[in-house]
Copies of this chain bind each other. A is one copy, B any other.
Amino acid sequence: MDERQVGSLSFSIDFSQPLYEQILTQMRSLIARGTIGLGEKIPSVREMAHELKINPNTVMHAYQELERDGLTEKRRGQGTFATTSMMKIKQFKERFALEYAQDFLENMHSLGFNLNEIHTYLTRLSQEKGHRKND
């Protein structure tokens, strides 16, 4: 694992996943959580590539996905910016939360757990971790 700063942002890069997916996931989180504010400029393709020591094409790949997610808006000659639409971020979060929850339910179901057991399991796990700070 490798922790790198790009401007005020921190990215952790390893080899467990495709590089563009790691950038994508972490940028999504930064925007969804509001660490990057509405309309705020995000690092340019070249800057990201240089700071993370990876190829600009790889960063491009991630940035194009962000655009499809509705989380960013690109302005030619200026750069890439977080969306100014709170609604788009809300929609993104709803969409992915739904997907994550469905996948989770489906996975647990395929192991033979029913809804009661799934709830019990998640409650137990989240209580174990529950003494961490709220955020």
Chain A positions within 8 Å of B, measured between CB atoms, are: 25, 28-29, 32-34, 93, 96-98, 100-105, 107-108, 110-115, 118-119, 121-123, 125-126, 129-130, 134-135
Contact = CB atoms under 8 A, between A and B. Distances in A.
Given A98-B125, A101-B104, A105-B129, 5 more contacts: A29-B111, A32-B111, A97-B113, A101-B121, A115-B130
B110 A119 contact: no
User: So how many copies of this chain end up in the complex?
Assistant: 2
B126 A97 contact: no
Tell me what chain A mostly uses at the interface: helix, strand, loop, or mixed: helix
Contacts of A107: 96, 100
A33 B135 contact: no
B125 A122 contact: no
A100 B108 contact: yes
Nearest to A92: B111
Contact of A118 (B33, B111, B126): B126
